[in-house]
């Protein structure tokens, strides 16, 4: 189901980019990475993703500035913000600027997947119908 969802991960922490990109690819997502805001904008210009997962605190170009640029030039691309607990206020400001939602670091992977699916509009589309209701003998 996730093969059609393209995600751009943007973070200045190489270890986090590597970890998340590998896990998302294993789940079938099409993943690109960028180590900062300027690189992310270049990447989006070449290949627009469905969802950008954007770190708030980066040197050179922070997440809010990057978000403003994405909203200005690529309004159809959804953006999820990653933030440390101390910068929750910045994440809320990001929501006002058009971010889809935000996640606190450290990221809960299943929560990230759910938000990516929500943002791309694919969550809740069943791969196959299964009946999960309990089975009780009728009297």
pLDDT tens across 80-126, in order? 999 887 777 888 899 999 999 999 989 999 999 999 999 999 765 44
Give the per-residue pLDDT at 124.
52
Give the span between the Cα atoms of 53 and 11, in whole angstroms: 8
Average the pLDDT over each of 58-67, 68-77, 112-121, 126-135 and give the range with the smallest value. Answer: 126-135
| Res. 50: pLDDT tops 90 | yes
Domain spanning 2-85+92-97: CATH 3.40.50.2300: yes
Bigger pLDDT: 107 vs 137: 107
| Res. 131: pLDDT tops 70 | no
Find, among 71, 96, 69, 91, the residue nearest to 81 by Cα.
Answer: 91
Give the span between the Cα atoms of 10 and 7, in whole angstroms: 10
> 2-26, pLDDT tens digit by residue?
658 999 999 999 999 999 999 999 9
**Range 68-95 burial, b when 16+ CB lie within 10 A, else e:** ebbeeebeebbbbbbbeeebeebbebbe
> Model pTM greater than 0.95?
no
Q: What is the DSSP string of 50-94?
A: SEEEEES--SSS-HHHHHHHHHHH-TTSEEEEEE-GGGHHHHHHH
Average the pLDDT over each of 1-5, 49-53, 67-71 and give the range with the smallest value. Answer: 1-5
Reported as a pLDDT band with limits 50, 70 and 90, residue 132 is very low
């Amino acid at each position: 189901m996730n093969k059609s969802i393209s995600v751009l991960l943007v973070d200045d922490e190489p270890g986090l980019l590597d970890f998340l990109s590998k896990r998302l690819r294993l789940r079938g997502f099409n993943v690109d990475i960028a180590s900062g805001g300027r690189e992310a904008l270049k990447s989006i210009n070449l290949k627009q993703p469905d969802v950008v997962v954007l770190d708030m605190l980066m040197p050179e170009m922070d997440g809010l500035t990057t978000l403003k640029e994405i909203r200005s030039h690529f309004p159809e691309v959804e953006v999820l913000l990653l933030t440390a607990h101390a910068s929750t206020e910045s994440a809320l400001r990001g929501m006002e600027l058009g971010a889809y939602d935000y996640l606190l670091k450290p990221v809960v992977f299943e929560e990230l997947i759910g938000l990516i699916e929500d943002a791309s509009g694919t969550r809740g589309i069943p791969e196959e119908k299964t009946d999960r209701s309990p089975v009780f003998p009728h009297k």
